[in-house]
């Protein structure tokens, strides 16, 4: 399809659909790591060790994401947002489909987990470059007074992708266990081939963003975007990473670790947890957009802080509810965590982070902020949670304490960042001064 001019709404929808497809691919792995991979790729290890290994390969994807962020961020700031988004989609789709074709440990031995890790790295590189481009596609097309609303459409990809991934596994899990472990889970991964075609078609239909076109026309492209970012706005970058912690932690705690904990430790039926995650993810889609809209009215920080304080207050009640084993309480916990808390926290962040940085290196800034902080905030969350549970005799109280600490840390980082609502994206946020030194403006 030939690219055509589009309204901010159409571009936002295109960003949401493409991001949802990419995150579906990435989150499939997390669901499979909690339910399947320890049995198929690490069954040469003992039970708990196999699960640690499966969660370890989950974390590998997050370690690879900064590499993708740096590569695609650099070229996204040099060549354009649209081209990089098409490439990230292709890389992710191919890597995910290949996982669905992998032989198991019983078939090829140690090569099975090795190949699984290689493909997980490929997934990480793809999604590492996806985030910044998807957000900027929506934010840089949006009118200033609706930037939070339209920018949040790119963030629909995370709960939307989780909804699709959980839904696919919920359907596949209706199969008898033997069929599910044999081919059911593979069908979820192979579906990525179809989604790849749809996503590529959609992304080829949009034009480059106005903000990047302006930089191109004025010949102000940065030669080394990451270097310029670190030199000119290190404070915003580091504090922005801090605000990412509660977002990444909340999502991966509920969608990955607590999924496995509820099924394997508490004994809640797998279908019950997957269905609760689906409902929470669907609610998260709606609240992500609504909280983005609220940030246009009340400010990015006020909405973000509200969600983060709620996450702090919910930490210990969530642990207690899960440990009751009551199916209604467990389902409500997942819906509250992934739907309410995550939606409110995540909605304003697309506009908030975008408005912190200059257009010349904004793709690199968002990619660096999101992917490097995601290593600890997201990738290691299941491993850290599993370790804390092992230290507390199988209970979640240390995990709840860690949850509260993460929330307090993110609140502190947000406190030292400026409110960005209403900023002009075409104005250099860190202009050079006559002395030759760089300084921050409005920090």
- Between 61 and 228, name the one with better pLDDT: 228
Give the model's pLDDT for residue 1.
47
Q: Shortest CA distance to 204 belongs to which of 74, 70, 415, 18?
A: 18
Does 321 fall in a domain? Answer: yes
Q: Is the pLDDT confidence value at 434 over 50?
A: no
Give the model's pLDDT for residue 430.
57
3-state secondary structure of 150: helix
Does 435 fall in a domain? Answer: no
Highest mean pLDDT among 143-152, 158-167, 278-287, 298-307: 298-307
Residue 5: CB atoms within 10 A of its CB come to 8
Does 58 fall in a domain? Answer: yes
pLDDT tens-digit map of 175-208? 888 888 888 889 999 988 888 888 778 777 776 6
Q: Is the pLDDT confidence value at 229 over 80?
A: yes
Q: Is the pLDDT confidence value at 72 over 90?
A: no
Does 428 fall in a domain? Answer: no
Does 442 fall in a domain? Answer: no
Give the span between the Cα atoms of 39 and 34, in whole angstroms.
Answer: 10
Number of domains in the chain: 1
Identify the band that residue 57 occupies on the pLDDT scale cut at 50, 70 and 90.
confident
Give the model's pLDDT for residue 106.
87
- Residue carrying structure tokens 């989609």: 89
- State mean pLDDT over 398-403: 97
Q: Is the pLDDT confidence value at 435 over 80?
A: no
Domain range spanning residue 369?
8-415
Give the model's pLDDT for residue 14.
79
Give the model's pLDDT for residue 443.
34
Q: Of 48-57, 259-268, 309-318, which range is least confident? A: 48-57
- State mean pLDDT over 322-341: 94
CB 325 within 8 A of CB 267: yes
Give the model's pLDDT for residue 138.
84
pLDDT more than 70, % of the chain: 92
Q: Shortest CA distance to 18 belongs to which of 89, 123, 120, 124?
A: 89
DSSP structural state of residue 429:
S
The two three-digit tokens of residue 116, written as one number: 């699984």
Identify the band that residue 405 occupies on the pLDDT scale cut at 50, 70 and 90.
very high
Does 422 fall in a domain? Answer: no
Q: What is the 3-state secondary structure (H, E, C) of 51-120?
A: HHHHHHHHHHHHHHHHHHHHHHHHHHHHCCHHHHHHHHHHHHHHHHHHHCCCCCHHHHCCHHHHHHHHHH
Average pLDDT in the chain: 85
pLDDT tens-digit map of 345-375? 999 999 999 999 988 888 889 989 998 888 8
Q: Is the pLDDT confidence value at 220 over 90?
A: no
Identify the band that residue 433 occupies on the pLDDT scale cut at 50, 70 and 90.
very low
Identify the band that residue 427 occupies on the pLDDT scale cut at 50, 70 and 90.
low
Identify the band that residue 211 occupies on the pLDDT scale cut at 50, 70 and 90.
low
Does 432 fall in a domain? Answer: no
- Between 414 and 274, name the one with better pLDDT: 414
The DSSP string of 185-234 is HHHHHHTHHHHHHHHHHHHTTB---HHHHHHHHTT---SSHHHHHHHH-H
Question: CATH number for the domain including 21?
Answer: 1.20.1250.20
- State mean pLDDT over 269-296: 92
Give the model's pLDDT for residue 441.
36
Does 2 fall in a domain? Answer: no
């Amino acid at each position: 399809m030939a690219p055509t001019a589009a309204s901010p709404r159409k571009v936002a929808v295109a960003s949401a659909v493409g991001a949802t497809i990419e995150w579906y691919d990435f989150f499939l792995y997390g669901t499979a790591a909690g339910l399947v991979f320890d049995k198929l790729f690490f069954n040469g290890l003992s039970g708990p060790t196999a699960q640690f290994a499966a969660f370890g390969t989950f974390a590998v994807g997050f370690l690879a994401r900064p590499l993708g962020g740096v590569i695609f961020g650099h070229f996204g700031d040099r060549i354009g947002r649209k081209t990089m988004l098409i490439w990230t989609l292709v890389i992710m789709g191919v890597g995910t489909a290949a996982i669905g074709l992998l032989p198991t440990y019983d078939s090829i031995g140690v090569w099975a987990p090795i190949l699984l890790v290689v493909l997980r790295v490929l997934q990480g590189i793809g999604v590492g470059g996806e985030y910044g481009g998807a957000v900027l596609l929506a934010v840089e097309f949006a009118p200033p007074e609706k930037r939070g609303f339209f920018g949040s459409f790119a963030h629909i990809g995370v709960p939307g992708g989780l909804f699709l991934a959980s839904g696919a596994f919920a359907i596949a899990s209706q199969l008898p266990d033997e069929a599910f472990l044999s081919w059911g889970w593979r069908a979820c991964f192979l579906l990525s081939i179809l989604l790849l075609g749809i996503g590529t078609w959609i992304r080829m239909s949009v034009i480059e963003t106005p903000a990047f076109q302006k930089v191109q026309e004025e010949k102000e492209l940065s030669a080394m975007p990451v270097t310029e970012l670190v030199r000119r706005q290190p404070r915003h970058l580091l504090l922005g990473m801090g605000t990412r912690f509660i977002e990444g932690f909340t999502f991966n705690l509920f969608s990955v670790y607590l999924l496995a904990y509820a099924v394997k430790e508490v004994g809640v039926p797998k279908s019950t947890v997957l269905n609760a995650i689906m409902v929470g993810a669907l609610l998260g889609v709606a609240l992500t957009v609504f909280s983005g809209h609220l940030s246009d009215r009340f400010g990015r920080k006020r909405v973000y802080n509200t969600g983060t304080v709620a996450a702090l207050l919910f930490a210990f009640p969530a642990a207690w509810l899960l440990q009751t084993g009551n199916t209604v309480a467990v389902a409500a916990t997942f819906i509250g965590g992934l739907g309410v808390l995550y939606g409110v926290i995540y909605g304003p962040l697309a506009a908030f982070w975008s408005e912190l940085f200059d257009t010349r290196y904004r793709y690199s800034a968002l990619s660096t902020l999101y992917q490097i902080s995601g290593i600890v905030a997201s990738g290691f969350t299941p491993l850290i949670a599993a370790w804390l549970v092992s230290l507390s005799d199988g209970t979640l109280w240390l995990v709840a304490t860690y949850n509260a600490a993460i929330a307090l840390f993110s609140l502190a980082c947000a406190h030292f960042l400026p409110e960005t609502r209403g900023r002009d994206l075409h104005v250099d946020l860190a202009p050079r001064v006559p002395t030759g030194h760089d300084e921050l403006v409005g920090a």
